């Protein structure tokens, strides 16, 4: 993955719009991933799903807690990608109380598939989901890659979470300042 450009796909998001009347003042907005990563240093982490145990109790909260550490090391944004729709991602972020990490809904799995990280979680009834990974992206190019071992489609793992924790990413950033 190192040296490759991140996929440029459209993510279907919902954004607050005060001109929309009623109890749900949101509208659809297409977000081009290429635009999100252009001209910036960003950290992206991906996980199997909103509201799932490790993702909800450890991974996403850990990146939220360490967000200021990432910013201090020159990171412009921290994004969490999951193969979930915009409604699920919004409610999950609300439940977690996220204020800093930005959630990106990859509802159709297009970004995740193009990253080579789309796996089957049929053994849990989830369908297609993301394998757990993190990366540092400089101006659209992947410069650091952190993938959990044992990628597979049949559940031959215990949902590993170590390589994609914030700490290895922070260590890499300390050793490779933006320049």
Catalytic positions, written as ranges: 55
Query: Helix, strand or coil for residue 122?
Result: helix
CB 31 within 8 Å of CB 9: no
Helix, strand, coil % over all residues of the chain, rounded to 5? 30, 30, 40
Nearest to 109 by CA among 81, 88, 135, 90: 81
CB 88 within 8 Å of CB 129: no
Paired residues of 80 in beta bridges: 45, 103
Long-range CB pairs of 112-119, under 8 A, 24+ apart, other chains included? 112/46, 112/81, 112/83, 114/7, 114/9, 115/1, 115/6, 115/7, 115/46, 116/1, 117/46, 117/147, 117/151, 118/83, 119/151, 119/152, 119/153
């Amino acid at each position: 993955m190192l040296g490759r450009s991140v996929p440029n796909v459209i993510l279907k998001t919902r954004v607050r719009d005060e001109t929309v009347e009623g109890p749900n003042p949101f509208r659809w907005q297409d977000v081009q991933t290429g635009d999100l990563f252009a001209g910036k240093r960003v950290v992206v982490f991906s996980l199997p799903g909103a509201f799932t145990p490790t993702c909800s109790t450890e991974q996403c909260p850990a990146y939220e807690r360490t967000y200021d550490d990432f910013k201090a090391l020159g990171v412009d944004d921290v994004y969490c990608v999951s193969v979930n729709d915009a409604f699920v991602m919004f409610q999950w972020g609300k439940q977690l109380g996220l204020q800093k990490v930005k959630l990106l809904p990859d509802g159709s799995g297009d970004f995740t598939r193009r990253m080579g990280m789309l796996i089957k979680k049929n053994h849990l009834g989830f369908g297609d989901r993301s394998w757990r990974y993190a990366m540092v992206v400089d101006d659209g190019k992947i410069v650091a890659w952190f993938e959990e071992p044992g990628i597979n489609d049949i559940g031959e793992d215990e949902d590993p979470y170590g390589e994609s924790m914030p700490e290895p990413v922070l260590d890499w950033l300390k050793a490779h300042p933006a320049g």
